[in-house]
């Protein structure tokens, strides 16, 4: 039996690192004192993580749970929301957008998601080889129980302390960050991570979304926070000097956009553009390229820098300033 190990990260904030081999773990947080606590994020579905939560509830590490908060709908954060809501009787708190997305994919079979992903990748001109599989959210328990929505700008009391709700975007549709000006802490979910930052993917179910535009807006908003805030991310350790990381991530996206525009030559598919921008990707990243590349092309279309046209079922893109000479 795995006993939960709580790491105190700040006054009345403990981090519970949950198993997720692909990313070296996913962070859940427990806010407040036993008897008056909120759980933030829940880990992957499956028996291993469920056993940790059962142990935490049994040994009092998580007790008197008043709310189960889920920052965003991704499986590594929402994997145990059903179990925790059921075991604690507490309401599930999410943004409207994330709850809608979670309900949507939770209600779809793996085959339905696969079919939509196939259409999306076919349109991008991606070869069959190297394609990944969509995540199967039907493995989650049905999402019934009490749900409360939180909105941007709300102030809510969690674990005996007031938190401001800040809705992000880009990594998912309407993820929630929680801000304590007293503690100078931002619970960021996956909206800010170390390394190259969170993935900014377009979802196959919403192929037209400008996720990168949403993410840039979020990064601009982070820049308006005081410099001395500490970010508690959904993966990894606390992030100090977070504005350096904001700048690094923004630069990374800008460089990929510049490279795409610079190397784009005539009408090209998303698969061709992906190979210009993401050189030598790992097999895991390769499976994500259809989604990450579409975030770039959707952004550039929104910015009127490129155009797209359907060519026998495959979308082709070209630079806006290139169109008159080559394609008219």
Residue 235 or 256 with smaller CB distance to Zn ion: 235
Residue 74 or 270 with smaller CB distance to Zn ion: 74
By CB under 5 A, the count of residues binding Zn ion is: 2
Q: Which residues in the 186-205 window bind Zn ion by CB under 5 A?
A: 190
In angstroms and rounded to an integer, the radius of gyration of the C-alpha atoms of the chain is 21
User: Both tokens of residue 121?
Assistant: 């990748």
Q: Measured from the CB of residue 265, what is the shortest distance to Zn ion in angstroms?
A: 34
Q: Measured from the CB of residue 176, what is the shortest distance to Zn ion in angstroms?
A: 12
The stretch near Zn ion (CB under 5 A) out of 23-31, 73-81, 177-185, 238-246 is: 73-81
Residue 99 or 317 with smaller CB distance to Zn ion: 99
Q: Measured from the CB of residue 202, what is the shortest distance to Zn ion in angstroms?
A: 14
> Which of 61, 65, 68, 74 is close enough to bind Zn ion by CB under 5 A?
74
Residue 74 or 253 with smaller CB distance to Zn ion: 74
Q: Measured from the CB of residue 78, what is the shortest distance to Zn ion in angstroms?
A: 9
Closest CA to 201 of 175, 171, 173: 171
Contact 170, 200 (CB under 8 A): yes
The position carrying tokens 């806010």 is 31
Residue 74 or 173 with smaller CB distance to Zn ion: 74
User: Both tokens of residue 312?
Assistant: 């026998």
The position carrying tokens 């929104």 is 302
Question: Cα–Cα distance between 205 and 84 in angstroms, integer?
Answer: 27
Q: Using DSSP, state whether 189 is helix, strand or coil.
A: strand
Question: Cα–Cα distance between 299 and 288 in angstroms, integer?
Answer: 17
User: What binding mask, one character per residue, do residues 148-187 give for Zn ion by CB under 5 A, x or -?
Assistant: ----------------------------------------
Question: Cα–Cα distance between 47 and 56 in angstroms, integer?
Answer: 14
Specify the pairing of strand 176-180 against strand 161-167. antiparallel
If one asks whether residue 235 binds Zn ion (CB under 5 A), the answer comes out as no
Under the rule (CB under 5 A), what is the footprint of Zn ion? Answer: 74, 190
């Amino acid at each position: 039996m795995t006993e939960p190990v709580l790491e105190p990260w700040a006054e009345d904030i403990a981090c519970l690192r949950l198993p997720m081999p692909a990313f070296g773990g996913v962070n859940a947080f427990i806010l407040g004192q036993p008897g008056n606590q909120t759980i933030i994020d829940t880990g992957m579905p499956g028996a291993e993580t469920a056993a940790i939560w059962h142990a935490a509830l049994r040994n009092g590490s998580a007790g008197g749970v008043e709310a189960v908060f889920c920052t965003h709908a991704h499986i590594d954060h929402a994997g145990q929301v059903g179990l925790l809501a059921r075991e604690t009787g507490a309401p599930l708190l999410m943004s409207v957008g994330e709850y809608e997305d979670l309900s949507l994919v939770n209600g779809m079979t793996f085959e339905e998601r696969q079919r939509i992903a196939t259409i999306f990748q076919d349109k991008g001109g991606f070869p069959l080889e190297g394609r990944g599989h969509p995540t199967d959210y039907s493995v989650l328990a049905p999402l019934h129980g009490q749900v409360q929505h939180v909105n941007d700008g709300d102030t809510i009391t969690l674990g005996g302390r007031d938190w401001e709700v800040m809705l992000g975007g880009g990594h998912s549709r309407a993820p929630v960050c929680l801000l304590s000006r007293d503690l100078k802490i931002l619970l960021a979910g996956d909206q800010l991570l170390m390394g190259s930052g969170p993935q900014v993917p377009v979802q196959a179910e919403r192929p037209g979304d400008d996720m990168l535009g949403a993410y840039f807006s979020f990064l601009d908003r982070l820049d308006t926070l005081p410099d001395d805030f500490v970010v508690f991310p959904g993966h990894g350790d606390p992030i100090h000097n977070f504005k350096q990381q904001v700048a690094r991530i923004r630069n990374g996206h800008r460089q990929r956009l510049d490279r795409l525009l610079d190397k784009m030559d005539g009408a090209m598919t998303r698969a061709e553009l992906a190979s210009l921008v993401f050189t030598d990707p790992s097999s895991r990243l390769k499976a994500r390229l259809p989604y990450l590349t579409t975030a770039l092309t959707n952004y550039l279309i929104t910015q009127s820098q490129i155009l797209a046209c359907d060519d026998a079922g495959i979308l082709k893109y070209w630079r806006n300033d290139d169109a008159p000479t080559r394609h008219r």
